[in-house]
């Protein structure tokens, strides 16, 4: 069965600090896709990244970077030099090769304090 | 146009009312979704439409009735709701129902049932 675990419920950092959000997943499939979404207070989920199981290259997009490690079933997300606008709930999600729905983790609430 | 729109933004209804939530996308996506999100929880999938046909109903009570009039529109008809149905209702769309397809979410409708 699929499962996504985000062990950090809430994180609070001071602006300009780096912060890493952890995501650990479980699946029996060899082909699967991992996603990160951001949900600001306005409510809309914003797609951040998709990674397939065959591509273990880390990715960087501006202040955001993602570390995918199949050996530990983790897909962690790092924000460098955090800003107040990064305050949101971040969800990690998993989709396998079948027709099963997207499985979300419970989310990590990030508060960046000025 | 990479936007999913939802109306209304807020809705307050009594338990005997009938109301509808509307969702629209003009990205040519063929899969559309309804999610329910309670406070401090991840989104929970309710329904999936693929090519205008209902493909997943996650055991949702019959007081929620989805409708897909065409490939751009998705409605959720509400009748005889309970106070515990109060939540943020999110609509999403994706290119197809493939595991690789990222979902684009609307801003949601905040529903309060009195």
Report percent pLDDT > 70 for chain B.
Answer: 98
Per-residue confidence at B57, pLDDT binned at 50, 70, 90? confident
Sequential DSSP letters for B5-31: EEE-SEEEE-TT-EEEEEEEE-S--SE
**Per-residue pLDDT tens digits for A42-100:** 889 999 999 999 988 888 899 999 999 999 999 999 999 999 999 999 999 999 876 67
Q: What is the SS3 assignment for B89?
A: strand
B2 in A contact zone (CB under 8 Å)? no
Helix (H) or strand (E) holding A68: strand A64-69
Residue B108 forms contact with A (CB below 8 Å): yes
Chain-chain contact of A99 with B97 (C-beta, under 8 angstroms): yes
Residues 16-55 of A with CB under 8 A from B: 31-33, 35, 37, 42-47, 50, 52
Question: Touching check for B92 and chain A: CB below 8 Å?
Answer: yes
Whether residues B99 and A46 touch (CB distance < 8 A) is answered with no
């Amino acid at each position: 069965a699929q499962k996504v675990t985000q062990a950090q419920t809430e994180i609070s950092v001071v602006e300009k600090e780096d912060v890493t959000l952890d995501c650990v997943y479980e699946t029996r499939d060899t082909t699967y896709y991992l996603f990160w979404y951001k949900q600001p207070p306005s409510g809309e989920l914003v797609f951040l990244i998709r990674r397939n199981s065959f591509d273990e290259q880390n990715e960087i997009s501006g202040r955001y970077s993602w570390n995918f490690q199949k050996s530990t079933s983790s897909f962690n997300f790092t924000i460098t030099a955090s800003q107040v606008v990064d305050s949101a709930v971040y969800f990690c999600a998993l989709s396998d090769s079948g027709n099963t729905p997207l499985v979300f983790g419970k989310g990590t609430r990030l508060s960046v304090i000025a | 146009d990479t936007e999913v729109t939802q109306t209304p933004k807020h809705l307050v209804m009594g338990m005997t009312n009938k109301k509808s939530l509307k969702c629209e996308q003009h990205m040519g996506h063929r899969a559309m979704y309804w999610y329910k999100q309670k406070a401090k929880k991840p989104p929970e999938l309710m329904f999936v439409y693929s090519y205008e046909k209902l493909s997943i109903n996650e055991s949702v009570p019959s007081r929620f009735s989805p409708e897909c009039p065409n490939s751009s529109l998705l409605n959720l008809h509400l009748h005889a709701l309970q106070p515990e149905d109060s939540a943020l209702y999110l609509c999403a769309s994706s290119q197809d129902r493939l595991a690789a397809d990222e979902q684009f979410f609307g801003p949601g409708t905040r529903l309060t049932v009195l």
